[in-house]
């Protein structure tokens, strides 16, 4: 569900006539202190809670506990407004507010796992406090949490301690925070999007009241998806930074200006900075990406340049091929029909096609294999494309079939590597309940197919 907020300036919107909420904010670090200041600025009554008495003292005196642009002035103004108070008493904070935002730290433990001790303790305290609360309370977890933590760890604690259920007297949401230190007030006012995971409407509608006016899309989703999006965003940022830095090391060895190169790379909004190549699917292959990656790595090695991320890309790609192989072998069936052979839909190029690797593997395992690919006419293959096939799967001609329906009908397990409406239609028409389809393309009509359809990792 998606809604887009209007870009109304905060001061104009919160001119004293808008209804305000009573909000407690647990954990007054970067996320909590900035949220406290901005919500107070926006006319809400805020109660700050922390276990650190020094932070509480600073905030009560109108001073900021974190160094952030704009926070000195903002904290002073909000403290003077009379809409802010602080406490170390979780019970007091829960009982005197309608909503709690939980922003406590979730640092790394020494083994790399997430240390959730602070948030788990707090869940107990909030649950106990809620036992004595008659009116409904919304709990919004904003700390970054390993997917599954809210529903698997925190919610059961709160429900057990409070004697209430999510959706009945208490409403649990997860709303990841996307602000960046250094520009946190600006990011608070203009986030990339607002994402709220919830299992009911009540908490969601309160958060729409609070954040729906922001100039960005408002998405509601499952709690687990919201937790996962936060991790995915941070992992992606880390990957991008590392890519730019590996590129810079490579550029230095090549005697090229890395800033100019990355600037030009970023100007391609069609293929580079775009959703292209960011959809889950099957492994990459073809005549360009694998060979160019190998050449890059060879060049780097010969110039003593370390590129650990790029060096592991082909291994990760191979892991994806291996997953498809094991999915097919795990069915225990020995009669395989493959739909698609070229490296992507719409081409007859077989060079380094991961589907050819699959075929090679199945042949090597002694499986009975039949292949259909409408684009691939072996008699018409020329040059490097022909040589590749002669070298890797020389007997492939015997396995190729023109009749798609017959390939489906005669197989026990059907591997779909070609994304075409005709394939979807043929599967719906021919496949039977005793067959298994291994879906490498994300078939959109799974419900129309009588066979058991297993996505590669979806």
Ligand X SMILES: NC(=O)c1ccc[n+]([C@@H]2O[C@H](COP(=O)([O-])OP(=O)(O)OC[C@H]3O[C@@H](n4cnc5c(N)ncnc54)[C@H](O)[C@@H]3O)[C@@H](O)[C@H]2O)c1
Among 41, 42, 50, 328, binds ligand X (CB under 6 A): 50
What gap in Å lies between CA 449 and CA 441, rounded to an integer? 15
Among 25, 32, 290, 436, binds ligand X (CB under 6 A): 32
Single out the segment in contact with ligand X by CB under 6 A; choices: 51-59, 215-223, 317-325, 333-341.
51-59
Residues 78-107 that bind ligand X (CB under 6 A): 103-106
**Given the complex with ligand X, which of 142 and 424 has the nearer CB atom?**
142
SS3 332: coil
Q: Tell me the closest approach of the beta carbon of residue 177 to ligand X, in angstroms.
A: 4
Q: Is 26 in the site for ligand X (CB under 6 A)?
A: yes
Which residues make Cβ contacts (< 8 Å) with residue 425, sequence separation at least 6? Answer: none
**Given the complex with ligand X, which of 107 and 275 has the nearer CB atom?**
107
Q: Is 143 in the site for ligand X (CB under 6 A)?
A: yes
Q: Is 440 in the site for ligand X (CB under 6 A)?
A: no
Report CA-CA distances (Å) from 29 to 33, 52, 270, 331: 6, 10, 39, 51
**No. of helices (H) and no. of strands (E), the chain:** 20, 15
* 15 φ/ψ sector (left φ>0, alpha ψ -120 to 50, else beta): alpha
User: Catalytic amino acids?
Assistant: 288
What gap in Å lies between CA 407 and CA 219, rounded to an integer? 43
Q: Is 47 in the site for ligand X (CB under 6 A)?
A: no
Q: Is the dihedral of CA 276, 278, 280, 282 positive or negative?
A: positive
Single out the segment in contact with ligand X by CB under 6 A; choices: 117-125, 126-134, 238-246, 258-266.
117-125
Q: Is 64 in the site for ligand X (CB under 6 A)?
A: no
**Given the complex with ligand X, which of 180 and 422 has the nearer CB atom?**
180
Binding characters for ligand X, 369-408, by CB under 6 A (x = yes)? ----------------------------------------
What gap in Å lies between CA 4 and CA 454, rounded to an integer? 35
Among 98, 181, 410, 412, binds ligand X (CB under 6 A): 181
Residues 271-300 that bind ligand X (CB under 6 A): none
Please answer whether residues 203 and 138 qualify as being in contact, where contact means their C-beta atoms are separated by less than 8 angstroms: yes
Residues 305-364 that bind ligand X (CB under 6 A): none
Among 47, 74, 93, 122, binds ligand X (CB under 6 A): 122
Q: Tell me the closest approach of the beta carbon of residue 260 to ligand X, in angstroms.
A: 30
Structure tokens at 357: 């690797």
What gap in Å lies between CA 355 and CA 361, rounded to an integer? 10
Q: Tell me the closest approach of the beta carbon of residue 157 to ligand X, in angstroms.
A: 13
Q: Which residue reads 């919500």 in tokens?
A: 39
**Given the complex with ligand X, which of 55 and 344 has the nearer CB atom?**
55
Single out the segment in contact with ligand X by CB under 6 A; choices: 50-58, 69-77, 151-159, 352-360.
50-58
**Given the complex with ligand X, which of 59 and 170 has the nearer CB atom?**
59
**Given the complex with ligand X, which of 46 and 179 has the nearer CB atom?**
179
Among 118, 254, 261, 314, binds ligand X (CB under 6 A): 118
In this structure, what are the phi and psi dihedrals at residue 87, rounded to the nearest 5 degrees? -155, 155
SS3 142: coil
Q: At what angle do helices 71-81 and 30-41 cross, to 10 degrees?
A: 50
Q: Tell me the closest approach of the beta carbon of residue 92 to ligand X, in angstroms.
A: 12
What gap in Å lies between CA 168 and CA 213, rounded to an integer? 27
**Given the complex with ligand X, which of 53 and 384 has the nearer CB atom?**
53
* Position closest to ligand X via CB: 29
Single out the segment in contact with ligand X by CB under 6 A; choices: 68-76, 115-123, 165-173, 319-327.
115-123
Please answer whether residues 406 and 421 qualify as being in contact, where contact means their C-beta atoms are separated by less than 8 angstroms: no
Dihedral angle over CA of 127, 131, 137, 138, nearest 10: 20
**Given the complex with ligand X, which of 65 and 290 has the nearer CB atom?**
65
Report CA-CA distances (Å) from 94 to 11, 73, 408: 28, 28, 61
Kindly report the three-state secondary structure assignment for every residue of 215-251. CCEEEEECHHHHHHHHHHHHHHHHHHHHHHHHHHHHH
Binding characters for ligand X, 159-178, by CB under 6 A (x = yes)? ------------------x-
**Given the complex with ligand X, which of 89 and 330 has the nearer CB atom?**
89
Among 55, 83, 133, 372, binds ligand X (CB under 6 A): 55
What gap in Å lies between CA 134 and CA 440, rounded to an integer? 52
User: How many residues bind to ligand X according to rule CB under 6 A?
Assistant: 25
Count of alpha carbons within 13 Å of 116, Cβ hemisphere only? Answer: 17
Structure tokens at 125: 């305290």
- The footprint of ligand X (CB under 6 A) covers 26-32, 49-52, 55, 103-106, 118, 121-122, 143-144, 177, 179-181
């Amino acid at each position: 569900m998606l809604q887009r907020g209007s870009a109304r300036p905060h001061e104009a919107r919160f001119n004293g006539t808008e209804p305000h909420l009573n909000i407690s904010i647990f954990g007054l670090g970067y996320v909590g202190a900035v949220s406290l200041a901005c919500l107070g600025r926006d006319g809400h009554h805020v109660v700050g809670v922390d276990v650190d008495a020094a932070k509480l003292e600073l905030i009560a005196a109108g001073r900021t506990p974190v160094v952030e642009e704009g926070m000195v002035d903002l904290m002073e103004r909000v403290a003077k407004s009379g809409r802010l108070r602080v406490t170390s008493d979780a019970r007091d904070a829960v009982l005197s507010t309608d909503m709690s935002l939980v922003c406590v730290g979730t640092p790394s433990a020494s083994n790399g796992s997430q240390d959730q001790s602070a948030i788990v303790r707090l869940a107990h305290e909030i649950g106990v406090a809620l036992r004595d609360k008659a009116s409904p309370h919304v709990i919004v977890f904003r700390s970054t949490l390993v997917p599954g933590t809210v529903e698997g760890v925190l919610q059961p604690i709160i429900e057990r301690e409070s004697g209430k259920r999510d959706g009945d007297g208490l409403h649990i949401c997860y709303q990841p925070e996307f602000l960046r230190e250094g520009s946190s007030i600006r990011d608070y006012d203009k986030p990339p999007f607002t994402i709220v995971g919830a299992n009911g409407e009540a908490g969601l509608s309160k958060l729409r009241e609070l954040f729906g006016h922001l100039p960005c899309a408002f998405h509601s989703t499952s709690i687990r998806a919201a937790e996962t999006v936060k991790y995915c965003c941070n992992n992606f940022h880390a990957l991008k930074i590392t890519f730019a830095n590996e590129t810079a090391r490579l550029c230095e060895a090549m005697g090229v200006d890395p800033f100019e190169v990355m600037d030009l790379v970023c100007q391609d909004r069609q293929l580079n900075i775009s959703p292209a190549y960011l959809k889950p699917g099957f492994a990459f292959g073809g005549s360009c990406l694998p060979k160019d990656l190998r050449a890059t790595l060879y060049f780097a090695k010969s110039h003593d340049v370390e590129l650990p991320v790029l060096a592991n890309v082909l291994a990760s790609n191979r892991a994806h091929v291996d997953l498809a192989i094991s999915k097919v072998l795990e069915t225990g069936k020995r009669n395989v029909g493959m739909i698609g052979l070229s490296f992507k839909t719409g081409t007859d190029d077989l060079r380094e096609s991961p589907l050819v690797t699959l075929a090679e593997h199945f042949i090597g395992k002694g499986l009975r294999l039949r292949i259909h690919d409408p684009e691939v006419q072996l008699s018409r293959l020329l040059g490097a494309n022909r040589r590749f096939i002669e070298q890797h799967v020389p007997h492939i001609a015997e396995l190729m079939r023109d009749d798609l329906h017959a390939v489906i009908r005669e197989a026990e397990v059907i591997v779909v590597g070609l994304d075409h409406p005709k394939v979807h239609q043929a599967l719906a028409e021919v496949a039977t309940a005793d067959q298994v389809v291994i879906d490498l393309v994300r078939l959109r009509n799974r419900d129309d197919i009588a066979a058991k359809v297993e996505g590669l990792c979806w």
